[in-house]
Amino acid sequence: MATVGIIMGSDSDLSVMKEAVDVLKEFQVECEITICSAHRLPVQTAEYAAGAAGRGIQVIIAGAGGAAHLPGVIAASTLVPVIGVPIQSGALAGVDALYAIVQMPRGIPVATVAINGSANAALLAVQILAVRDDNLKSALRAYRDRMAQSVLEKDKKLKQVGVDAYLLK
Ligand code: RP5
């Protein structure tokens, strides 16, 4: 059963949101993926939010670009925590979406990640689920250990080969 709902305003957001799908797959967390626009499909958006908890969804990741109301509108209609992903699109390159998502009014929070930061949204979702799941906690620790190891290896290589050879890689 899916425990994370990934929703986005348009199929043009899909290539960015796929990074979240991939991260969840890595942690073997099942997700449902939905395209539903707060502006073009307002009734269906409200229905999605109202039904999420009943479907077993424990975290929602909502990505949108432009006048990005989708994460906030969903957060208004559910107690399931919502993580917003501002998508880089159009003339303002994601700054519009960032401001729209991060500046929620007091009382209805949306946890906002960086522009196009859907991988971090998925990691945050896994961390939320890990509060009550020791297997996920161990998987997150191992993920961070691998990340740390990879930085150490890069530093070691840089010291071994020097800047010019490193940049040729
Ligand atoms: C938003 O408008 C979507 O989330 C998307 O990022 C942006 C552009 O949508 P399309 O015109 O490409 O469908 O609602």
pLDDT per residue as tens digits for the range 150-167: 999 999 999 999 999 999
67 CA distance to ligand 1 centroid (A)? 9
State residue 57's pLDDT score: 98
Angle CA 18–23–27, to nearest 5 = 145
Helix, strand and coil content of the chain, in percent to the nearest 5, comes to: 55, 15, 30
Ligand 1 contacts CB of residue 44 (under 6 A): no
Q: Place 53 in a pLDDT band, splitting at 50, 70 and 90.
A: very high
Q: What is the pTM of this model?
A: 0.96
State residue 132's pLDDT score: 97
- Residue 28 has a CB neighbour count (10 Å cut-off) of 10
- Residue 43 has a CB neighbour count (10 Å cut-off) of 8
β-bridge mates for residue 88, sequence order? none
Kindly state the tokens that stand for 90.
């159009």
Calculate the alpha carbon distances from 24 to 4, 59, 96, 98, 123 in Å. 9, 12, 27, 23, 8
The answer to whether 94 touches 115, Cβ cutoff 8 Å, is yes
Ligand 1 contacts CB of residue 9 (under 6 A): yes
Q: What are phi and psi of 156, to 5 degrees?
A: -60, -45
Q: What percent of the chain has pLDDT over 90?
A: 99
Residue type, 146: R
Q: Place 169 in a pLDDT band, splitting at 50, 70 and 90.
A: confident
**What's the rounded Cα separation, in Å, for the pair 87 and 110?**
15
10 Å CB burial of residue 16 (0-12, 13-18, 19+) is: buried
State residue 64's pLDDT score: 98
The answer to whether 67 touches 76, Cβ cutoff 8 Å, is no
End-to-end CA distance of the chain: 43
**What's the rounded Cα separation, in Å, for the pair 80 and 89?**
27
The minimum-distance atom of ligand 1 relative to the CA of 97 is 6
Ligand 1 contacts CB of residue 116 (under 6 A): no
